[in-house]
Amino acid sequence: MSKLLKFFSAAVLLLSGAAVSALLWAQTGLEYQNPSVLIPVDLTGTFNRYNIVIPNFLPLSPGGAVADGADRFAKRLGQNLDMTGYFQLLDPRASLESNPRAGLSPAEPMDYAPWAQIGANFVIKGAMEAKGSNVTMELHLFDVATGTAKLGKRYAGKAADARKMINRFANEVILAITGEPGVFGSKIIFVNEQSVMLTELGSDEAEKLYSGRGGNVSHPTLGRGGRTAWTRLNGRKWELVVDGKVVYGGNLVIAPAFSPNGTIAAGYSGPSSTNIAVFDGRVPRVITNGNGIEISPTFSPDGGRMAYVSDQGGSAGIYVTSSSGGAGTRVSPGGKSTDPSWSPKGDKITFVTRERDICVMNADGSGLRQLTGGQGVNRHPSFSPDGRMIVFSSTRLGKSQLFVMAANGDRQQPMIPEFPGAQTLPTWSPDMPEM
Which pLDDT tens digit goes with each residue over 99-145?
Answer: 999 999 988 999 999 999 999 999 999 999 998 899 999 999 999 99
Shortest CA distance to 401 belongs to which of 412, 411, 410, 392? 392
Query: What pLDDT was estimated at residue 10?
Result: 31
Question: Residue 381: left if φ>0, alpha if ψ -120 to 50, beta else—which one?
Answer: beta
Statement: 187-428 belongs to CATH 2.40.40.20: no
pLDDT at 33: 59
Enumerate the CATH 3.40.50.10070 domain ranges in the chain, comma separated: 3-178
User: What pairing do the DSSP bridges indicate for beta strands 253-258 and 245-250?
Assistant: unpaired
How far apart are the C-alpha atoms of 352 and 384, rounded to whole Å?
A: 17
The full length of the chain comes to: 435
Stretches where the chain sits below pLDDT 50 are: 1-29, 35-43
Measuring CA to CA, which residue among 334, 328, 361 is closest to residue 347?
Answer: 361
Enclosing H/E stretch for 253: strand 253-258
What's phi and psi for 267, nearest 5 deg?
-70, 135
**Is residue 420 classed exposed, middle or buried when 0-12, 13-18 and 19+ CB atoms within 10 A define those classes?**
exposed
Question: In the prediction, which pLDDT does 37 show?
Answer: 45
Output the pLDDT for position 407.
Answer: 94
Residues 6+ apart with CB under 8 A from 283: none
What pLDDT, on the 0 to 100 scale, is given for residue 26? 34
Instruction: State the Cα–Cα distance between residues 319 and 302, nearest whole angstrom.
Output: 17
Question: How do strand 357-362 and strand 245-250 relate by DSSP bridges?
Answer: unpaired
CB 401 within 8 A of CB 369: no
In CATH, the architecture of 3-178 is 3-Layer(aba) Sandwich (3.40)
Q: pLDDT value at position 317?
A: 95
b/e burial code for range 79-96 (CB count within 10 A of at least 16 → b): ebbbbbbbbeebebeebe
Which part of the chain has CATH 2.120.10.30? Answer: 187-428
Find the helix packing angle between 162-178 and 70-83, rounded to 10°: 40
Running DSSP on this structure, what letter comes out for residue 4?
A: H
